[in-house]
């Protein structure tokens, strides 16, 4: 393995304290998270103040950075609670604040926490970068329309750190420039209320004599920049961000593990790349594209189809406890029966595949089928430790 | 109250100039290559000798680095040739930074139609740009009270849209090209709105709300907030009628309001007031997630993660728990019941006297418990 000294930081989403632990254990260099106000993911769990404190402390114990999102577009009243929140973040050692609004930036600047400019500010060019530098920004999370090469140029010309999205679902609009939800469902997409109107199926009247078509014309394919990591290394991109604070622990674990391995390896032989790609395929996603990382996203980036609910590799749960030579305790999140196959995602190295012969309840009764959200015992297996994430492998007959 | 008129194409510009007199205090020309939906060439602008004294050119596209370099050249050419005296209406922070560093300085108007919702942001930008900043175009999402609050600290004149389409969406990707068309009307079963206007042009794809903004019947309240300029983004014939209403208002004629109401009735499209009279944008947030439990001022000891009714509960600990502890169980619905830790076992079924954060333990079942309940100590 070839460890690159100047490799980009791997930045993972932490939509909850549980997912923060997952991200850290599966190899993230940094996580981004939100308190219960001010962030852009109002429908994710987010962190209570106590959880925030615990999360920051866990990150720092593990030498992982924690960035706090304050990237909603603030209205006047939103500033009221900000001072006390910032004082707490200073005390608990937040490593950076992710900000998009100039007013928020001005407000938070005196607290001395480094400021990362959110992608919501749609910083796309070197002149804009210069503006934000003068405003005190340390890092630019570039707009998703910026190519890797442009990010490199901006970094070189302006002397700020640059961060790019490398994987996840994509906003179709220029970030911060979509207010569909605001006017159609009273939910401010720039304050965390996006109703994902771009994912709807629309019926288009094409205005040339009644031609009408049904289409998901505004839906974007998901971003997958795995194959571009060598270029990210070469261009010295400072941070690569995985989207998905609303996604579950399995997604976080899979992304962090694969990207960690790929970043640490550097340019890899095709066999290894295939292996990483195959593992990324095990999370549910829309069709993948490379967004604008290489060249500006075009028509090929439109995901014109209904999203599938089917996932052949559902989240099966989290290992709660391992008692050597006795049992593994699994917090099952899906129904499991003897005969099912599960894969335990180890923190490093090969995953462990197990076909279940027997399942037991916590009080040692054999069970034929566990219900989701129950605690069950599996036979002991070496190499498994607490907090590992487990996926179920659906038999081919149950796959779509 | 002053009026401004947006003009998007050469035909409309010629029609306006053919009126022979300037009915608006300012015209805003959406120029080809630099604006989102305009097609007026810079040459056309240069060739017009009788433009109003106050004319502003729109450079409101957003530009990744390579496009920005191209557009800078287009702008530089225009500026050196003939347009140095006009104001430029801009959105991209990069454009602002570039223009204020030009020599001689370029006057600019900052268009904050979809952002800058607070006075700190606006005053910070005002301070940064300094004297070249001639106007700020405020967001469509600011209710009356916030507009008033913002003006308390703002020196720069401001403008809001009072009649015209509401922009919803802007992407540089071409979403209609596949259908061999550049305009469409959209509807979706997932929203009651019908007739979204969609345009795909050289700059990307844009969408507008089926209903247009109409605030002319609120001119008195708008003036009272401190807004100085009102803008018309609608076709000229309607804008002229709107400008007449504004004139009546400025002259103190009581009829302005009746005329505004009449104009609203006969306007070519359905209209709304937008956010001027209500701030609905965060109304739904509290419903998105049940936060009853997590925000309680309680020292949480454990999560209930499984249970066997009338026998036991499986808990995962956040804090130390001891045999004999008395705790309070809070269900997600907010019910609270006492819990006596009469027995405490580990996953092997062995009795233990205490358990630690991270441990899984088995304790007595409590009636009404469900997975997701929290055990805590009141503080
Ligand atoms: S609706 Fe789509 S394009 Fe608009 S903000 Fe939401 S995700 Fe982005």
pLDDT tens string A65-110: 999 999 888 999 889 889 999 999 999 999 999 999 999 999 999 9
E strand spans, chain A: 9-13, 30-33, 65-70, 96-99, 115-117, 139-141, 161-168, 202-205, 212-215, 222-224, 239-242, 288-289, 315-323, 327-332, 341-345, 352-355, 359-361, 366-367, 374-379, 389-393
Residue of minimum CA distance from atom 4 in ligand 1: A178
Of B116, B187, B282, the CB nearest to A188: B282
Query: To which H or E segment does residue B208 belong?
Result: strand B204-214
Closest CA to A169 of A247, A66, A253: A247
Strands of the B374-378 sheet, one edge to the other? B336-340, B326-330, B374-378, B298-308, B312-317, B360-364
- Whether residue B279 is predicted with pLDDT greater than 90 in this model: the reply is no
Contact B55, B29 (CB under 8 A): yes
Mutation target to probe the A interface, by most A beta carbons within 10 A, among B36, B37, B60, B62 is B62
Q: pLDDT tens for residues B131-188? A: 999 999 999 999 999 999 999 989 999 999 999 999 999 999 999 999 999 999 999 9
> Torsion angle, CA of B39/B43/B49/B55, rounded to 10 degrees?
50
Q: pLDDT tens for residues A174-192? A: 998 999 988 888 788 877 7
Give the residue-averaged pLDDT of B310-325. Answer: 96
Contact B130, B100 (CB under 8 A): yes
Residue of A nearest to B146 (CA): A76
| Residue B67: predicted pLDDT | 96
- Chain A residues close to B146, C-beta within 8 Å: 75-76
Q: pLDDT tens for residues A146-172? A: 999 999 999 999 999 999 999 999 999
Measured distance CA(A41)–CA(A18) in Å, rounded: 16
Residue A399 confidence class, pLDDT cut points 50, 70, 90:
low
Round the average pLDDT of chain A to a whole number and report it. 93
Strand partners, B278: none
- Whether residue B1 is predicted with pLDDT greater than 90 in this model: the reply is yes
| Residue A3: predicted pLDDT | 45
Mutation test residue for ligand 1: of A144, A168, A172, the one with most atoms within 8 Å of CB: A172
Backbone angles phi, psi at B268, to 5 degrees: -65, -20
* Structure letter (DSSP) for residue A371: P
Measured CA to CA in angstroms, residue A306 lies from A184, A246, A265, A279, B147 at distances of 21, 20, 36, 23, 41
* Structure letter (DSSP) for residue B349: S
| Residue A107: predicted pLDDT | 97
| Residue B49: predicted pLDDT | 83
Give the residue-averaged pLDDT of B114-126. Answer: 95
A302–chain B nearest CA distance, Å = 8
- Whether residue B47 is predicted with pLDDT greater than 60 in this model: the reply is yes
At B258 the three-state DSSP class reads helix
| Residue B78: predicted pLDDT | 82
Closest CA to A332 of A350, A356, A298: A356
Contact A387, A25 (CB under 8 A): yes
Q: pLDDT tens for residues A203-218? A: 999 976 678 899 999 9
Contact B367, B337 (CB under 8 A): yes
- Whether residue B295 is predicted with pLDDT greater than 70 in this model: the reply is no
Of B93, B274, B347, the CB nearest to A128: B93
| A189 CA closest ligand 1 atom index | 5
- Whether residue B289 is predicted with pLDDT greater than 50 in this model: the reply is no
Inter-chain residue contact A125 with B63, CB threshold 8 Å: yes
The packing angle between helices B256-266 and B236-250, to 10°, is 160
Tell me what percent of the residues of chain A surpass a pLDDT of 70: 95
B248–chain A nearest CA distance, Å = 31
At A38 the three-state DSSP class reads coil
- Whether residue A284 is predicted with pLDDT greater than 90 in this model: the reply is yes
- CA A186 / ligand 1 centre spacing (Å): 14
- Whether residue A2 is predicted with pLDDT greater than 50 in this model: the reply is no
Inter-chain residue contact B121 with A102, CB threshold 8 Å: yes
Residue B50 confidence class, pLDDT cut points 50, 70, 90:
confident
Percent helix / strand / coil, chain A, rounded to 5: 30, 25, 45
pTM for the model = 0.94
Inter-chain residue contact A124 with B174, CB threshold 8 Å: no
Q: pLDDT tens for residues A27-41? A: 999 999 998 867 555
- CA A194 / ligand 1 centre spacing (Å): 6
Q: Which two tokens stand for residue B65?
A: 């680095």
Residue B315 confidence class, pLDDT cut points 50, 70, 90:
very high
- CA B171 / ligand 1 centre spacing (Å): 10
Residue A44 confidence class, pLDDT cut points 50, 70, 90:
low
| Residue B82: predicted pLDDT | 64
Measured CA to CA in angstroms, residue B22 lies from A140, B15, B38, B50, B267 at distances of 45, 12, 21, 10, 23
- Chain B residues close to A133, C-beta within 8 Å: none
Residue B287 confidence class, pLDDT cut points 50, 70, 90:
very low
Query: Which residues make Cβ contacts (< 8 Å) with residue B127, sequence separation at least 6?
Result: none
Say how many C-beta atoms besides its own lie within 10 A of residue B84's C-beta: 13
Range from A68-72, A90-94, A326-330, B221-225 carrying the lowest mean pLDDT: A68-72
- CA A181 / ligand 1 centre spacing (Å): 8
Tell me what percent of the residues of chain A surpass a pLDDT of 90: 81
Residue B290 confidence class, pLDDT cut points 50, 70, 90:
very low
Residue A1 confidence class, pLDDT cut points 50, 70, 90:
very low
Inter-chain residue contact A207 with B312, CB threshold 8 Å: no
Give the residue-averaged pLDDT of A276-296. Answer: 96
Buried b (16+ CB within 10 A) or exposed e, A260-296: bbbbbbeebeeeebeebeebbebbbbbebbbbbbeeb
- Whether residue B285 is predicted with pLDDT greater than 60 in this model: the reply is no
- CA A260 / ligand 1 centre spacing (Å): 29
* ipTM for the complex shown: 0.93
| A169 CA closest ligand 1 atom index | 7
- Whether residue B280 is predicted with pLDDT greater than 60 in this model: the reply is no
B168–chain A nearest CA distance, Å = 5
Inter-chain residue contact B178 with A185, CB threshold 8 Å: no
Backbone angles phi, psi at B263, to 5 degrees: -60, -40
Query: Which residues make Cβ contacts (< 8 Å) with residue A4, sequence separation at least 6?
Result: A233, A263, A264, A266
- CA A37 / ligand 1 centre spacing (Å): 20
Give the residue-averaged pLDDT of B336-355. Answer: 96
| Residue B286: predicted pLDDT | 45
Token pair 């104001």 in the structure block, residue = B87
Give the residue-averaged pLDDT of B296-316. Answer: 91
Residue of minimum CA distance from atom 8 in ligand 1: A171
- Whether residue A42 is predicted with pLDDT greater than 60 in this model: the reply is no
The packing angle between helices B93-100 and B119-129, to 10°, is 30
| Residue B284: predicted pLDDT | 38
Tell me what percent of the residues of chain B surpass a pLDDT of 90: 81
| Ligand 1, residues at Cβ distance < 6 Å | A 171-173, 178, 180, 189, 194, 196-198
- Chain A residues close to B174, C-beta within 8 Å: 298-299
């Amino acid at each position: 393995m070839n460890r690159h000294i100047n490799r980009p930081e791997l930045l993972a989403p932490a939509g909850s304290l549980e997912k923060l632990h997952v991200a850290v254990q599966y190899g993230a260099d940094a996580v981004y998270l939100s308190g219960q106000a001010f962030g852009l993911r109002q429908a994710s769990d987010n962190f209570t103040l106590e959880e925030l404190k615990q999360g920051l402390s866990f990150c720092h114990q593990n030498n992982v950075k924690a960035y706090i999102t304050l990237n909603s577009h603030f209205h006047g009243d939103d500033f009221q609670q900000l001072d006390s929140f910032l004082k707490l973040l200073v005390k608990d050692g937040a490593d950076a604040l992710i900000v998009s609004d100039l007013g928020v930036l001005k407000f938070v600047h005196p607290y001395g926490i480094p400021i990362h400019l959110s992608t919501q500010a749609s910083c796309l060019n070197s002149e804009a970068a210069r503006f934000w530098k003068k405003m005190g920004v340390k890092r630019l999370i570039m707009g998703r329309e910026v190519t890797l090469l442009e990010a490199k140029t901006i970094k070189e010309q302006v002397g700020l750190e640059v961060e790019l999205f490398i994987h996840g679902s994509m906003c179709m609009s220029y970030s911060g420039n979509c207010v569909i939800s605001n006017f159609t469902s009273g939910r401010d997409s720039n304050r965390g209320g996006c109703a994902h109107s771009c994912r709807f199926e629309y019926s288009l009247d094409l205005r040339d004599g009644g031609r009408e078509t049904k289409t998901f014309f505004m839906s974007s394919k998901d971003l997958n920049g795995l194959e571009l990591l060598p270029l990210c290394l070469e261009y010295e991109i400072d941070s690569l961000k995985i989207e998905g604070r609303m996604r579950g622990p399995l997604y976080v674990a899979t992304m962090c593990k694969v990207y960690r391995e790929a970043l640490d390896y550097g340019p890899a032989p095709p066999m290894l790349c295939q292996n990483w790609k195959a593992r990324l395929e095990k999370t549910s996603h829309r069709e993948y594209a490379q967004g604008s990382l290489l060249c500006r996203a075009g028509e090929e980036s439109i995901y014109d189809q209904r999203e599938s609910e089917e996932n052949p590799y559902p989240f099966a749960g989290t290992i709660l406890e391992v008692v050597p030579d006795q049992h593994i305790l699994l917090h099952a999140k899906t129904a499991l029966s003897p005969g099912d196959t599960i894969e335990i995602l180890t923190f490093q190295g090969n995953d462990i595949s197990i076909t279940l012969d027997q399942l037991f309840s916590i009080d040692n009764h054999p069970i034929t089928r566990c219900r989701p959200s129950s605690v069950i015992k599996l036979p002991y297996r070496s190499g498994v430790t607490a907090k590992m994430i487990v996926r179920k492998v659906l038999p081919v007959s149950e796959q779509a | 109250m002053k009026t401004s008129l947006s003009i998007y194409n050469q035909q409309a510009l010629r029609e306006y100039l053919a009126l022979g007199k300037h009915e608006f205090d300012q015209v805003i020309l959406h120029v080809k290559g630099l604006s989102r939906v305009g097609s007026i060439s810079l040459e056309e602008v240069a060739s017009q000798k009788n433009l109003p004294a106050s004319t502003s050119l729109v450079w409101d596209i957003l530009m990744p680095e390579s496009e920005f370099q191209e557009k800078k050249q287009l702008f530089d050419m225009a500026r050196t040739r003939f347009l140095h005296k006009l104001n430029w209406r801009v959105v991209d922070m990069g454009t602002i930074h570039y223009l204020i560093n030009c020599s001689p300085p370029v006057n600019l108007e900052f268009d904050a139609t979809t952002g800058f919702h607070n006075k700190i942001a606006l005053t910070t930008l005002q301070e940064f740009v300094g004297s070249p900043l001639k106007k700020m175009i405020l967001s469509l999402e600011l209710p009356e009270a916030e507009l008033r609050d913002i003006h308390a600290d703002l020196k720069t004149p401001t403008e809001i849209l009072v009649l015209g389409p509401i922009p919803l969406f802007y992407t540089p990707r071409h979403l209609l090209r596949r259908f061999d068309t550049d305009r469409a009307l959209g509807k979706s079963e997932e929203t009651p709105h019908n007739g979204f206007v969609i345009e795909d042009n050289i700059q990307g794809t844009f969408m507008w709300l089926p209903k247009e903004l109409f605030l002319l019947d609120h001119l008195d309240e708008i003036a009272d907030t401190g807004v100085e300029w009102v803008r018309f983004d609608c076709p000229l014939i309607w804008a002229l009628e709107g400008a007449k209403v504004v004139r009546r208002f400025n002259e103190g004629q009581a009829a302005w309001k009746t005329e505004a109401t009449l104009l609203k009735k006969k306007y070519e499209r359905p209209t709304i007031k937008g956010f001027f009279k209500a701030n609905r944008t965060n109304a739904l947030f509290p419903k998105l997630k049940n936060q009853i439990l997590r925000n309680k001022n309680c020292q949480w000891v454990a999560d209930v993660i499984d249970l066997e009714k009338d026998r036991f509960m499986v808990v995962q600990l956040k804090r130390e728990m001891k045999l004999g502890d008395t705790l309070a169980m809070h269900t997600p619905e907010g019910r609270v019941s006492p819990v006596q830790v009469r027995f405490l076992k580990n996953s092997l079924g062995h009795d233990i006297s205490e358990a630690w954060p991270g441990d899984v333990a088995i304790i007595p079942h409590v009636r009404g418990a469900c997975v997701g309940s929290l055990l805590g100590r009141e503080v």
